[in-house]
A and B are shown apart, each in its own frame.
Chain A
Amino acid sequence: MTTLLQLLITGLLVGAVYALMSSGLTLIFGVMRVVNLAHGAFAVLAAYLTYTVWTWTGLDPLLSVPIIVAVMFGIGWLSYNLVVRHVRGSHISMTVLVTFGIALTIEGIAGFVWGNQSRTVRTSYTDTSVQIGPFFLPTATLLAAAIAVALLGALFFILNQTWTGRAVRASAVNESGALLVGVSVKSIAASAFALGIATLGAGGAIIAVMYPFIPGTHYQWIARLLAIVVLGGLGSLMGAVIGALSIGVAEQFATQYVGASWVEIVPFLVIIIILIVRPRGILGQKLREDATV
Chain B
Amino acid sequence: MNTTNTHAKASTPRSVTVPDASKVPGWARTETVRRIVTVLLGIAAIVIALFPVVPNRSAQSTVIIALVVAVGAVGLNIITGYTGYLSIGHFAFIGVGAYFVAILAKAVPGVAPLVWVPVAGLVTALLAVLLGLVTYRSRGPSFVIISIAMLFLMRFVATEWHAVTNGTSGITLPMYSWPREWGNWPIHISLVVLLGLSLALSGWIRRTKFGLGLIAIREDEGKAGTVGVNSPVYKLLAFGASALLVGMAGGVYGYFMGFVDPVNMFSILLSVQLVLAVILGGRGTLFGPVLGAFIVVPLDIFANNTGGGGNTRLVMFGLLLIFLVVLLPKGVLPSLSHHLERIRTRGTVGLSGTRLGAADELSIRDRPEVPDPAELAERLEAAPPILEVKGLSKSFGGNQAVNDCTFTVPEGSITGLIGPNGSGKTTVFNLISGTLLPDAGTVRIGGTDISRMPSWGRAHRGLGRTFQSTRLFKEMSVLENIAAPLGSFSIPQLGLDAVSGREAERARELLDFVGLSRYEQAKAGSLSYGQQKLVELGQVLVLDPKLILLDEPAGGINPTLIERMGDLIRDLNAQGKSFLLVEHNMPFVLGLCNPVRVLAQGHIIAAGSPDEIQTDDAVIDAYLGDDYLLDSDNSATRRMAIEGSAS
Which A residues have a C-beta under 8 Å from some C-beta of B?
29, 35, 37, 83, 86-87, 90-94, 96-98, 100-109, 111-112, 116, 219, 223, 226, 230, 234, 261, 264-265, 267-269, 271-272, 275-276, 279, 286, 288-291, 293
The minimal Cβ–Cβ distance linking A92 to chain B, given in whole angstroms, is 5
Pairwise interchain contact A271-B146, C-beta atoms closer than 8 A:
yes
With beta carbons under 8 angstroms apart, the residue of A37, A107, A261 that contacts B314 is: A107
Of B28-36, B321-329, B369-377, the segment with at least 4 beta carbons within 8 Å of chain A is: B321-329
Pairwise interchain contact B311-A104, C-beta atoms closer than 8 A:
no
- Bound Cα distance from A261 to B159, whole angstroms: 10
Pairwise interchain contact A276-B137, C-beta atoms closer than 8 A:
yes
Q: Is B517 an interface residue (CB 8 A)?
A: no
Q: A101-B318, A105-B319, A272-B134 are in contact. Are A219 and B311 (CB under 8 A)?
A: no
With beta carbons under 8 angstroms apart, the residue of A101, A109, A268, A279 that contacts B325 is: A101
Q: Is B313 an interface residue (CB 8 A)?
A: yes
With beta carbons under 8 angstroms apart, the residue of B88, B311, B325 that contacts A98 is: B325
Q: Is B149 an interface residue (CB 8 A)?
A: yes
- B interface, over-half SS: helix
Pairwise interchain contact A108-B315, C-beta atoms closer than 8 A:
yes
- Bound Cα distance from A118 to B508, whole angstroms: 66
Q: Which residue of chain B lies nearest to A222 when distances are taken between CB atoms in the complex?
A: B148
Pairwise interchain contact A290-B435, C-beta atoms closer than 8 A:
yes
- Bound Cα distance from A154 to B492, whole angstroms: 61
- Bound Cα distance from A178 to B317, whole angstroms: 37
The minimal Cβ–Cβ distance linking B151 to chain A, given in whole angstroms, is 9
Give every chain A residue within 8 A of B311 (Cβ-Cβ): 108-109, 111-112, 116
The minimal Cβ–Cβ distance linking A268 to chain B, given in whole angstroms, is 4
With beta carbons under 8 angstroms apart, the residue of B144, B160, B272, B396 that contacts A92 is: B144
- Bound Cα distance from A178 to B496, whole angstroms: 49
Chain B 284-321 against A: per-residue CB contact (8 Å), 1 yes, 0 no?
A: 00000000000000000000000000111111111111
The minimal Cβ–Cβ distance linking A275 to chain B, given in whole angstroms, is 5
Pairwise interchain contact A275-B86, C-beta atoms closer than 8 A:
no
With beta carbons under 8 angstroms apart, the residue of A101, A108, A226, A275 that contacts B312 is: A108
Pairwise interchain contact B322-A268, C-beta atoms closer than 8 A:
no
Chain B 322-345 against A: per-residue CB contact (8 Å), 1 yes, 0 no?
A: 101110010000000000000000
Q: Which 9 A-B pairs have the closest CB atoms?
A: A108-B314, A101-B321, A105-B318, A104-B318, A93-B86, A108-B315, A111-B311, A101-B322, A268-B149
Q: Which residue of chain B lies nearest to A85 when distances are taken between CB atoms in the complex?
A: B326
With beta carbons under 8 angstroms apart, the residue of A35, A102, A219 that contacts B322 is: A102
What are 5 sample pairs from A and B whose C-beta atoms fall under 8 A apart? A83-B326, A92-B141, A97-B279, A98-B325, A116-B311
The minimal Cβ–Cβ distance linking A48 to chain B, given in whole angstroms, is 14
Pairwise interchain contact A271-B149, C-beta atoms closer than 8 A:
yes
Q: Is B349 an interface residue (CB 8 A)?
A: no
- List which B504-519 residues lie within 8 A (CB) of chain A: none
Pairwise interchain contact B321-A98, C-beta atoms closer than 8 A:
yes
Chain B 100-140 against A: per-residue CB contact (8 Å), 1 yes, 0 no?
A: 00000000000000000000000000000000001011101
